[in-house]
Amino acid sequence: MTSLKDRWQAWANEYPAKIRSATVNVGRAFELVWEGHPASLIAMVVCTLIGAGIPAGQAYAAKLIVDAVVAGAQAGIDPIAGLQSVAPWLVLELALVVLDTAVSQARTFAEHILHARINVNINTRIIRKALELDLSYFENAEYYDKLQNARREADWRSLQIVDNGFYLVQNIITLISFVVLLIGFSPWLAVLIFAATVPAFIAQNQFAELSFRVLSWRAPEARRLNYLEHLLTDYDAVKEVKLFNLGEPLLGRYAELFWKFLREDQTIAQRRSLASLGWGLLATLSYYGAYAWIVWRAVGAAITLGDMTLFLSITRSSQSRFQSILYGLSSLYENGLFLSNLFAFLELTPAMRGGSGGGTPVPEHFTRGIEFRDVSFRYEGHTQDVLRNVSFHLRPGEKVALVGPNGAGKTTLIKLLTRLYDPTGGQILLDGIDLRDYDLLQLRQKIGVIFQDFVRYHLPASENVGFGQVEALADLERIMAAARKSGADDVIRPLPDGYATVLGRWFSGGRDLSGGQWQKIALGRAFMRDCELIVLDEPTAALDAENELRVFEQFRALTEERMAVLISHRFSTVRMADRIFVIEDGTITESGSHQTLLAQGGTYARLFTLQAESYK
């Protein structure tokens, strides 16, 4: 078991590096805030500088008022004359109070604007970074842990850093003005007051790091908690949850995680509160010791009553400001630690090369087609290849179909073809050039894809189709033409607001569709795109036989001069392809036309015969 001494030594060794990291993060947080709204940041700087000098001015004005009152009383002047002698200092103090209130309100307004701007700025950067990353990140649980840590309180922490940073600067300037006054009275008094607050700062700093560690470690469990809440409240899951009586068991798991987190947080909060109480008492005792000494000096006529008022005021305020400075440093350190998660996420880089503007321009029309040369692929963290030494040539205008059992690698092959992944072995060539050398965004513009697990956008029907070519989202005629090709027009027109009708159940007035209707909408997205290659992964799985035949008759006509790749388990569909590839266990075992494969009497012939017999 690690000894306390060893743990302390390890913490001490790591602490300087963590301080440097947190300090860098604080600077980067201010950069984020500057990006959010420079004018509000400048306003906070001005408010900080003005507000910093007000407390010392108020304390000194109070001293002048008391001394003027005492002098008038000792001189025996009449009340009106005494009030006249005090009036300038009263006006000064009133002006300082009004100024303090105005500065406080201006600062609050600036913070309000900054909070909204920081929120959208950080969330936009997180989402944009997620869009840049390869698909492999999204299939890795560690990525979601990093995303969870990055998104958790990132905008709030940034605002806290700015807020605490400005208050820290303000308190330091104010404290300097107090120290100048205190040193003239008693340097030792200043040392006593400041030294008594240091232990509380150290304790708070240690608990700040503990809180950071606990929240970072629990990211996987926190995602599980969110997932359970989603299952218990989501429309798509509620049917099974009710029918299988899963509500209470899942709610029990949710409650178990929730109470575990609560106990951890309560333990840290309790220990933090006890430490703060103990060290806070030490600071309080030091203040009252100084209080008694100042009163003793005033009783002995060593200082005036105005001096006593001034020094009592700045003594309490000095200790309070010094505590605020130390707690501000602790808060900056804590928030800097949390922001390390955000910046670590933003520093993730895609492994695939050839992003926007970063590769060879894609040809307007494909002349030699697409060739797979000994392509192999293995998912990250797996020990076996999903595809092994796959080779074939897809010629311009050719229609090919991929068939085979589930898990054989068909969809993975499509992901490689569309450069959602890069091969771990071999090459994929377009017109003789490696796909990895092309500009990635241009390449994807030339490919229209609808996957089996297509997205159901809870947005207007026109956008559900138009997203296939987002640049043409305002071209309703083009959207309607694509919908007619896929059969989606017959689904959309009867809706209450036609193409303006919101689909799905998430929003008020939304209309949900059947699986087959949603599939027609998704197919419309594929027909929307003006591309050289169309890829359909199980595009008619939810359609009846009549609609399936209609779709593929249109599909064949619409792709007459384009390349097309089709994945389907329905052999009535794939028989329309020019060539059919049978994929088994990650390799192509058979290839040829429908008639050729039937004549071979292999896997394709066997599966086709089994399916045909099932319809008898």
CA distances from 504 to 12, 268, 499, 515 (A): 56, 44, 14, 12
> 226-281: per-residue pLDDT in tens?
777 777 777 667 666 666 677 777 788 888 887 887 777 777 667 666 666 666 66
Task: State yes or no: pLDDT of 3 exceeds 50.
Answer: no
pTM surpassing 0.85?
A: no
Average model confidence (pLDDT) for the chain? Answer: 77
Confidence band for 32, pLDDT divided at 50, 70 and 90: confident
Classify strands 563-567 and 399-403 as parallel, antiparallel or unpaired: parallel
Question: For residue 468, what pLDDT is reported?
Answer: 85
Rounded to a whole number of angstroms, the CA Rg of the chain reads: 36
Query: What domains lie within the chain, and their CATH numbers?
Result: 17-346 (1.20.1560.10), 397-423+437-614 (3.40.50.300)
SS3 (DSSP) at 584 = strand
Strand order through the sheet with 425-430? 387-394, 370-377, 425-430, 433-434
Question: For residue 240, what pLDDT is reported?
Answer: 67
Cα dihedral across residues 124, 128, 131, 137: positive or negative: negative
Rounded to whole angstroms, the Cα distance separating 510 from 167 reads 48
Rounded to whole angstroms, the Cα distance separating 522 from 525 reads 5
Which residues make beta-bridge pairs with 298?
A: none
Question: For residue 188, what pLDDT is reported?
Answer: 64
Rounded to whole angstroms, the Cα distance separating 162 from 110 reads 11
Task: State yes or no: pLDDT of 335 exceeds 80.
Answer: no
Rounded to whole angstroms, the Cα distance separating 131 from 411 reads 21
> 56-111: per-residue pLDDT in tens?
787 777 777 777 777 766 666 766 776 777 788 888 888 888 888 898 888 888 88
State mean pLDDT over 428-455. 85
Task: State yes or no: pLDDT of 19 exceeds 50.
Answer: yes
State mean pLDDT over 147-160. 71
Residues 608, 598 contacting (CB under 8 angstroms): yes
> 170-203: per-residue pLDDT in tens?
777 777 776 676 666 666 666 665 665 566 556 6
Residues 274, 238 contacting (CB under 8 angstroms): no
Which residues make beta-bridge pairs with 400?
A: 565, 579
Q: Which two tokens stand for residue 25?
A: 């993060």
Residue at token pair 């209450």:
496
Question: For residue 493, what pLDDT is reported?
Answer: 92
Which amino acid would we find at residue 243? Answer: L
Which amino acid would we find at residue 71? Answer: A
